[in-house]
Structure 1
Amino acid sequence: MSTTEPDAPTLPLSPAAAVAAARPGRVRPRRMRGTAALRRSVSEVRLHPADLVLPLFVKEGLDEPAPIASMPGVVQHSRDSLRRAVVEAAAAGVSAVNLFGVPLVRDAVGSGATDPDGVLNRAIADVRAEVGDALVIQADLCLDEFTDHGHCGVLTADGWVDNDATLVRYAEMALVQAEAGAHVVAPSGMMDGQVGVIRDVLDAAGRGDVAVLAYAAKFASVLYGPFRDAVESTLEGDRRTYQMDPANRREALREVALDIEEGADLVMVKPAGAFLDVLADVAAVSTVPVAAYQVSGEYAMVEAAAAQGWLDRRRAITESVLGIRRAGADQVLTYWAVELAHWLREEWR
């Protein structure tokens, strides 16, 4: 039988004693959060209007802009309202606009995409005439807005998107868009080899000055729904045979590497918010600037929540774009580009 005294029970420290024992005074990260000026002085990522790109829709035959119901505040532009919109974007300090066309007539091969007088090519020329080089003019290079079936390419008899036949159409589009005045062509169809074909045809035509923004990691996402309203898409079914599976992360790096090897001047991850891990991966290895597209569904969700009073709209917009920049995007395509640019300029004042 033990004759030693049992240890005295250990009493729990009082809250004040626990704090004293931890001695938090030596390292206090909160010191650098105490005022707005302190927080600004150590911000790791800063937003600037030049980081932003404004996507714009122009519809053939409009006399005035037409609201898009699923994207409150966004419109299909007429030719005249498009000119006004790009002047406003340039004045706000936005770096670029990304143009999409909505034609009145569509066919199986998207003939309107290569018509020099088609809605998108006219829009490119209008914007170039209006603002010259004050804005970078990026042109969507894809057939989905122009085909009656709504797919991004030419179909085979059994309804499969024919990759190589589509590349021929993309090459034709690139030349017409360059002639119209695009600084950057942006192939978004996710066809294998699209960047190389476009780069080769532009160079052969003496248009080595036109850059290629590759939609390198574009995922088959539900978040494109409002965009399809904006372009009045006729798509039935989906695009999973050519856009990426949202489950795949490593594959995105493979797609990006291939596009850079083929001559891409910039690469894009799309959508942005749900794929920040992919964006960070791409930014870590890319040898060219990285863009990310904050897509229509991301826009619509914030606008809907803000309209219900569930989110502070301005803070939600700013934070969402900041997160995309923090993940590594050099360029953010966002429908809030001009509004956000104005807010940033107000903060500087």
Structure 2
Amino acid sequence: MSDSNTTYFSNPSHFILLGIPGLETVHVWISIPFSAMYIITVLANFTILFIVKIDVALHEPMYYFLCMLAVTDLVLSTATIPKMLSIFWFNSREIGFNACLAQLYFIHSSSVIESGIFVAMGFDRYVAICHPLRHSAILNNHMVAKISLAVVLRGGILILPCTFVARHWPYCRTNIIPYTQCEHMDVVRLACADVRVSSYYGLFLQICMSGLDVFFITVSYIQILRAIFRLPTKEARLKTFGTCTSHICVILTFYIPTVFSSLTARFGDNIPLYFYILISNIYLLVPPMLNPIIYGVRTKQIRDRLLRLFIQKGT
């Protein structure tokens, strides 16, 4: 006999996103910094794309990868923030089943792609510092295109099983997700099945992104530091290391919130739900906003080109 309190549906028409449970009364106030961050994200990343496009001197591997990062940040932000704001402003909590899976796919694939871009940037810095005379030969346009394609395909393909399996789980009891967006484990936890396959695959992706990618970046920087310490003067060492600071800053901005959010989800049983949701939103909102700002402030070529652009408009 079936349980009368259980509603079983293999393919729900929609899910309900609650936003930030416990902070419903201040949703409108929370939306103010969120919307401001989204506006800054869009403007800053489009500015990076525009500057690189119009300045031929910036048509180099590092700036091509930076453009990829800007596009990925725009996709990640646009996949999440507009729905968040509709929840906060209009109490529009429904999200279609397919739209939820699409949001899940874009959130996680963008994160994996972004991690791959950081590896590519690390490789670019390694070649530029350790093999400067061969940089243009090693990282020619053809090689940059192949690396870029590999990064995008890796991110796109690795997340497909998550979406495919989540679509075919049987769901029951509730279609309520107590968060601001659809993420992989938040969706599959609603399934009436043993979802260990999804859980293990999600852990595999975490190892791939936060493990292997960080390992490759670390290896690159070990070689970079060895080359820097062999330089004859302190000024030369500082100048060379200065070309890496933007990359190091965006890596820390990306990986620290991601790892902290993952650890909080797995081990933070006593942490209030609203605090966990705010932390998980940080890694979706802050890195896309800070990445172009960091590169704009720390990279002399971009900073100078931006200043020239404003000076030309002012004259």
Q: TM-score, normalised by structure 1?
A: 0.25
> Which structure has the larger Rg over C-alpha atoms?
1
Higher strand fraction (1 or 2): 1
